[in-house]
Amino acid sequence: MSKVLVSDPIDQAGIDILSQVATVDVKTSLSPEELVQIIPEYDALMIRSGSRITKEIIEAGTQLKIIGRAGVGVDNVDVPAATRQGVVVVNSPEGNTIAAAEHAIAMMLASSRYIPDANSSVKSGKWDRKSFIGVEVYKKTLGVVGLGKIGSHVATVAKAMGMKLLAYDPFISTERADQLGCRLVEMDLLLREADYITLHIPKTPETANLINPEALAKMKPTARLINCSRGGTIDEAALAEALKNGQIAGAALDVYETEPLGESPLRALGKEVILTPHLGASTAEAQVNVAIDVAEQIRDVLLGLPARSAVNIPGLGPDVLEELRPYMQLAETLGNLVGQLAGGRVESLNVRLQGELATNKSQPLVVAALKGLLSQALRERVNYVNASIEAKERGIRVIETRDASVRDYAGSLHLEAKGSLGEHSVTGALLGDSEIHLVDLDGFPVNVPPTQHMLFTLHRDMPGIIGKLGSLLGSFNVNIASMQVGRKIVRGDAVMVLSIDDPLPDGILAEIIKVPGIRDAYTVTL
């Protein structure tokens, strides 16, 4: 039975799900050294923000298949190291969406009305109303930086409160922004026009210190800044100086460059700044949601199913996965097949999406095809996570093309591979209830469902050749389950595709090639 280590506190609902398929050990507050020592025992690791999963820990986890982060950010996981080891890293991108969005709205209102300081004042015995005259958000302009799930919800709520909306997000279309009631603008304009600016972005090289002295200088003196996304996106020293000098009116931060927040000039400021200890996801509902979400993904991976929110599988979000799942199986099967036909040392792979499939994302299908291509050599070591890396390290040149004009099937996938046995191509399509069919082999039309053991021949289309091959196989006690011939012209070259019940005995391929008219023969085991 699989074993799962839970190294941070998570809701019991998540543990209950994991217990359906694995033995679950909850061991919190482990040091990195302790994790390195025990991680070889486990197939999966579930964490929150408390555990930092380093390259050393991942490399020590020789049995690890998946690391699940019960939350959005995976800053505390060495994702490149996990990818290289073939370990899936998943998160819960939607589990705390509402909690984080509501915290950003709460921080904006608290900053506008000085609620934390007013509360402290009354509790200390004062009744000082004049010191806490705030401002209204109604009809003010909110600049939303990042229109992902959280930013979009903030925009929706702010619009309902009567705010005007600007948005900056280089990855969002104008149409999507319009749906949310946002005017999509450049960052410079947003900084200059917004009365409130709320950040909903990951920390990347492009967003590190996005709010710096130059950005702060462009903001209105009445502007307020809210950050409930990621620490490190604001230059905190520059922000403290801007608040101290009255360059902007206020700020409310839930995340910081270094957490827990240590010595910081922000701590010395008064009512113009609100600081909370990373509470964005800290609601009872969010903790249950993220625990269930990630536990379900760990369960699925341990059962051999794909994860819906893997952060290190290119282009494979939950929506894409649901839509492309049957075609990914098609791509993997074809990759396995053409890899065996082309030979062990494959130099190149051409993946062509045809017909209606040409309008879909190609990257997940390319990854699936590479997984199939490399599966004979690497077995369980290759998966959707590391297939691209393994192919690159083996010098396999990958080409992606599209051809929407091919209309023989609603959508088909064509793979060409060049290897030590020559160049070969296969085309597959989904027929009926998503049943995989091989519809073309090396340019010859066929229509057969792939089976575990298959024999392919290249031969002259001539009388008697099928009978001779059948008799030869019968003499070696090989039972044929099905057979089909594909040809372009009568009595020209042709291919034969045979499904057989068992692997061919040793030496039989050499005998098959001796049959007059048969020019080549290959076996494939799927």
Supply the angle between the helices 284-302 and 97-113 in degrees, to the nearest 10. 150
How does DSSP assign 103-140, residue by residue? Answer: HHHHHHHHHHHTHHHHHHHHHTT----GGG-----TTP
Known catalytic residue at 259 = yes
Residue with tokens 């000098």: 245
From the number of C-beta atoms within 10 Å of its C-beta (0-12, 13-18, 19+), residue 143 rates as buried
Catalytic residue among 186, 259, 323, 393: 259
Return the H-helix or E-strand segment holding 154.
helix 149-160
Catalytic status, residue 397: no
230 is catalytic: yes
Give, in degrees to the nearest 5, the angle at Cα 70 between 296 and 7. Answer: 100
Residues 6+ apart with CB under 8 A from 355: 403, 404, 406, 407, 408, 409, 410, 411, 412
Determine if residue 395 is left, alpha or beta; phi over 0 gives left, psi from -120 to 50 gives alpha, anything else beta: left
List the catalytic residue out of 103, 230, 414, 437.
230
Catalytic residue among 278, 325, 394, 460: 278
Residue 101 C-alpha from the chain's centroid: 22
For 404, how many CA atoms within 13 A lie in the half-sphere containing its CB?
Answer: 4
Strands 453-460 and 422-431: unpaired
Provide the Cα torsion 338, 342, 348, 354; round to 10°. -30
Strands ordered across the beta sheet of 397-403? 397-403, 348-355, 411-419, 422-431, 435-441, 444-448
CA distances from 381 to 63, 80, 86, 372, 375 (A): 11, 16, 7, 12, 8
Nearest CA among 492, 404, 480, 400 for reference residue 448: 480
Residues with catalytic roles: 230, 259, 278
